[in-house]
Amino acid sequence: MAMLHLVNKSPYDACNLDSASSMMKGDDALLLIEDAVYAAVKNGKAAAGLAGLKVTVLGPDLAARGIGEDKLIDGVTVVDYAGFVDMVEANDKVQSWL
Amino acid sequence: MSDTKKFMYVNRKAPYGTIYAWEALEVVLIGAAFEQDVSLAFMDDGVYQLMKGQDTAGIGMKNFSPTYSALGDYEITKIYVEKESLEERGLTLDDLQHLVWEDEDEDWAEKDSIRLVSRAELADVFADQDVMFNF
């Protein structure tokens, strides 16, 4: 029963991402949206917290914040809104860490 | 109002996720009309506000980042960016917009507005202010 974990808060301003990552299991997926996309920036302190996780970030939120895909840590997948919907569909449940 | 005061606007939030960054900019521009000695500081997630290359077409929000480059025209020439906040986020000054102002006293020479400071140096700058505005 895979779960999609949605995080939308900056990892430097709130502990939402830590809570999410600490409770992810097996095939669970993590989608970073809005201010949470900052977590996937290379050389940032928060990037270490994503190690070993299946991480996807929302492209339009990256672009809005001026973060090029070349600035992301390796192994991250970038999706658009249609990809967001596909992920919701592909998982059994969605947990939004508001 | 004959007395000029030192106004410091402290920006600590990322843009777009909340309305703070945009509201701060609005207040700064309104305040500029009162001819005070204005400084801006960007620390914590506030440093993200100055990222260059912001393109908000995909999220349906107004991209207000070009407005920062107009601050020089409002005689806002002291923009402090805190070094530790940048480093912690994997960023350098190169990731930020290049903000300048034109010095009337030196034949309109272009000068950098951004001053990269440590947290300790920024604390000293804060201590020297008359009024603090926090966003």
Tens digit of each residue's pLDDT (9 = 90 or more) over B15-35: 999 999 999 999 999 888 888
Residue B35 lies in a domain: yes
- Band (pLDDT 50/70/90 cuts) for residue B2 is low
Residue B14 lies in a domain: yes
Residue B1 lies in a domain: no
Q: How far is CA B69 from CA A32, B3, B43, B51, B66, in A?
A: 29, 28, 18, 12, 6
Q: What CATH number does the domain containing B105 carry?
A: 3.40.1260.10
How far apart, in whole angstroms, are the C-alpha atoms of residue B104 and residue B101?
A: 9
Residue B24, min C-alpha distance to chain A (Å): 17
pLDDT tens digit sequence for B62-110: 999 999 999 999 999 999 999 999 999 999 999 999 999 999 999 999 9
Chain A hits for B43, CB-CB cut-off 8 Å, are none
Residue B33 lies in a domain: yes
In this complex, the residue of B17, B44, B54 whose CB is nearest that of residue A66 is B54
Counted domains in chain B: 1
Chain A hits for B93, CB-CB cut-off 8 Å, are none
For domain A3-97, the question of CATH label 2.60.40.60 is answered with no
The mean pLDDT values, 10 residues at a time, for chain A of 98 residues are: 96 96 94 98 96 95 97 97 98 96
Q: What are phi and psi of B48, to 5 degrees?
A: -65, -25
Strand duo B78-82 + B37-42: pairing? parallel
Transcribe A12-44 into DSSP letters: TT-SHHHHHHHT--TT-EEEE-GGGGGGGBTTB
Give the list of residues 6+ apart from residue B70 with CB closer than 8 angstroms, or none.
none
Query: pTM of this prediction?
Result: 0.93
By C-alpha distance, the chain B residue nearest A35 is B17
Picking from A7, A9, A35 by the largest number of B CB atoms within 10 A of its own CB, the best residue to mutate is: A35
Residue B51 DSSP class: B
- DSSP tally for chain B: helices H, then strands E: 3, 7
Give the list of residues 6+ apart from residue A91 with CB closer than 8 angstroms, or none.
A2, A3, A4, A28, A29
Question: Which of A3, A7, A45, A51 minimizes the C-alpha distance to A26?
Answer: A3
Report ipTM for this prediction: 0.90
Pairs across A and B, CB distance < 8 A: 77
Chain A hits for B51, CB-CB cut-off 8 Å, are 65-67
Q: How far is CA A23 from CA A5, A56, A95, in A?
A: 9, 17, 11
> Could you tell me the residue range of the domain that residue B120 belongs to?
6-134
